[in-house]
Chain A
Amino acid sequence: GAVVSQHPSWVICKSGTSVKIECRSLDFQATTMFWYRQFPKQSLMLMATSNEGSKATYEQGVEKDKFLINHASLTLSTLTVTSAHPEDSSFYICSAGASGDVRLVETQYFGPGTRLLVL
């Protein structure tokens, strides 16, 4: 099956620093990747959609300068939380979708998530 990995799985950082989270599709090419944020006991909130080689599309209310997304290749997207603050502490999840492979066109495959704690 399609596998998506995230790195790191856990990160603790000091307030004011930047943190980069990687999302990789291991056995398929992901033309589109999605970044979600999940608050405790709540649903996933879509932050942005990125297509390989183009700028990400951010959802309303998400600061694009705060959450930098880069999708430089068909297997890698990165989310950088810049100048992180305690309120950015959350569980960040990526997912990857593809076109051209009928098995994948109707689904997204999710990474295991990255838990960020900003002190």
Chain B
Amino acid sequence: GNSVTQMEGPVTLSEEAFLTINCTYTATGYPSLFWYVQYPGEGLQLLLKATKADDKGSNKGFEATYRKETTSFHLEKGSVQVSDSAVYFCALKNTGFQKLVFGTGTRLLVSP
């Protein structure tokens, strides 16, 4: 079956540090991959997505590359800000279906 595995958190960084949150997946076929962000007390917001191998999704300084050979979709940002503190969810969806499969989420804490 389909599944998503994320690194456990929390990830604690100082402002302007480099961020990597690992995400690997198991899926049949060729899924689309997503990163969602959940700020405290709010619902999920789509951060970025990639729909095929080697695609790079990017938004707000975050980026992730769809790596089919390693079944990975790691999230990166070159310089984090305090306002990036949130929970980040990696997710996948198979073509033709709308059901999303989420990872367990990784909490990011950025200190000044």
- Chain A contacts to B: CB under 8 angstroms: 6, 32, 34, 41-44, 46, 49, 93, 95, 97, 106-113
Contacts and interface: CB of A to CB of B under 8 A. Distances in A.
Interface in B40-97: 42-46, 49, 51, 89, 93
A44 B4 CA distance: 12
Contacts, number: 46
B31 to A, nearest CB: 11
A44 B89 contact: yes
Nearest to B36: A110
Interface residues on B, range: 20 to 34
> Do most interface residues of chain A lie in helix, strand or loop, or is the interface mixed?
strand
A47 to B, nearest CB: 12
A79 to B, nearest CB: 14
Contacts of B100: 34, 46, 95, 108
Contacts of A41: 105, 107
